[in-house]
Amino acid sequence: MRVLLILLLGCALTASGAHAEGERAGSFDYYVLALSWTPTWCATTGDARNAPECADSADIAWTLHGLWPQYHRGWPSFCPTSQRPPSRQMTEAMSDIMGSGGLAWYQWKKHGRCTGLSAPAYFALTREAWGRIARPEVFQQLTRPVKLPARVVEEAFLKENPGLDPDMLTITCRNGRIAEARLCLSRDLNPVPCGQDVVRDCRLENALLDPVR
């Protein structure tokens, strides 16, 4: 019986397409543009690494976590590709919006290769996607930590981006904090409804939002 349950669970996970690795590059349905609230990333990860974007004088609000190819259910990752990897100069050039060249390199390795694009084209598209989404400036005016419903952050993005509908973005939380805004975009970077794996809004009514350092 135990063996049967394990086999059934494995089949269910495979059928759901929850996650895949090594899929064919260029085979996906839409993009997810992930924007991180930098003070949260610093508090949960960056401070322990002494990341430069977490210095008290950094003055960084939203940073670009990545542009991710997505299926309607699940996502590809670490796809094989014949495209040349990006140079260090190319990844470092993305640090103004991604925080570090190291993150840019990892995003290419895990997600960028799955687009089927060359590294220069992927980073150019990533920068274009970043430029198309208005980031609410109201949160940058905070002078102290606040607790608020996560939906307030979503409403701020909707207000700043009239082309967005509620089912085209989601706000995530981590350790009781506002973590990311994830926006769903077509291959030509127009807002589209998110798939089931993405539309999972944080439901916290008192999520912590730290001010920009």
Dump pLDDT digits (tens) for 153-196: 999 999 999 999 999 999 999 999 999 999 999 999 999 999 98
- Pairing state between β 169-174 and 62-70: unpaired
Q: Tokens for 189, please give them.
A: 């970077």
Model confidence at 199, in pLDDT bands (50, 70, 90)? confident
Which is nearest to 39 in space by CA: 182, 179, 205, 204?
179
Between CA 9 and CA 14, with CA 10 as vertex, the angle to 5 degrees is 115
Separation in Å, CA 71 to CA 28, 48, 75, 130, 154 = 5, 33, 5, 21, 23
Dump pLDDT digits (tens) for 46-80: 999 999 889 888 899 999 999 999 999 999 999 99
Question: For the residues 76-89, what does the mean pLDDT come to?
Answer: 96
Q: Tokens for 28, please give them.
A: 């996906």
Helix (H) or strand (E) holding 69: strand 62-70
Helix or strand or coil: residue 141?
helix
Residue 5 has pLDDT above 50, yes or no: no
Helix or strand or coil: residue 114?
helix
**This prediction's pTM:** 0.88
Helix or strand or coil: residue 156?
helix
DSSP 3-23: HHHHHHHHHHHHHHT---SSP
